Each structure stands twice: as C-alpha cells, then as structure tokens.
C-alpha cells in the first residue's frame, strides 16, 4: 500500500473518530501551507518568513469564528440556507481580515 494511501486512510479514520480536533488541526495546517504558498509563489519572496507562517497557524480568532459559524450551520439552519450562511460568514471574515492586514501595512 502506498504511503499516500495510508496517510489518506489515517486522515479519514481520524475524521470519523475525532472530527472537531482533526478539522481544527487540518485548518491550521492549511492556513500555514497557504501562507507558505503565498510567500514563495504569489509574492515571489526569496526568503520564507516562518514567523508569519506561525501567525497564520495559531490565528485563534479565525478558528473560533468558524467553529461558531459551523455550529450554527449544522445545528440551527435548515439545509437550504447552509451554503449561503457559510459564504456570508466567509465574506465577513475576509472583509475583517483584509482590513486588519491593510491597517498594519498603513501603520508601517
């Protein structure tokens, strides 16, 4: 069995047994990886800034925001409103995040 297949099965089993913690860890990893891609590919930086990556990894307000969004999504809302709800929450988050990052750039 290939290494990738073993890893996929472990991930799937973890999602079934411990969905909350698995998704929290996965979200942090994807944020860290996404920032690495942004730094090295999109922004074309020669040197990787690990401090910036770890800020994305442990950005707690993001996790708490979307945990609350998803709790409302799965326990309160009817099925036909769920996509709209999550997309609206993502719009609010992206607006807030854009404001914060641009504010920090303007201060420099």
The ranges assigned to domains in the chain are 11-107
Q: CA-CA distance, 93 to 62, in Å (whole number)?
A: 8
Give percent of the chain above pLDDT 90.
31
DSSP 38-85: IIIIIS--SS--HHHHHHHHT-HHHHHHHHHHHHHHHHTS-GGGHHHH
Helix axes 3-17, 19-37, angle to 10 degrees: 130
Chain-centre distance for alpha carbon 23? 9
Residues 26-36 have pLDDT tens digits of: 877 777 787 88
Contacting residues for 39 by C-beta, under 8 A, at least 6 apart: 45, 48, 49, 52, 53
The pTM of this model reads 0.54
pLDDT in tens, 2-44: 999 999 999 999 989 998 888 778 877 777 787 888 888 877 8
């Amino acid at each position: 069995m290939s290494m990738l297949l073993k890893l996929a099965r472990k991930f799937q089993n973890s999602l079934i047994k411990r969905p909350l913690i698995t998704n929290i860890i996965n979200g942090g990893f994807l944020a860290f990886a996404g920032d690495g891609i942004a730094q090295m590919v999109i922004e074309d930086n020669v040197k990787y800034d690990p401090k910036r990556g770890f800020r994305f990894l442990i950005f707690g307000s993001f996790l708490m925001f979307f945990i609350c969004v998803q709790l409302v999504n799965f326990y309160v809302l009817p099925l036909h409103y769920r996509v709209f709800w999550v997309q609206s929450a993502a719009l609010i988050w992206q607006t807030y995040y854009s404001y914060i990052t641009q504010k920090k750039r303007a201060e420099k």
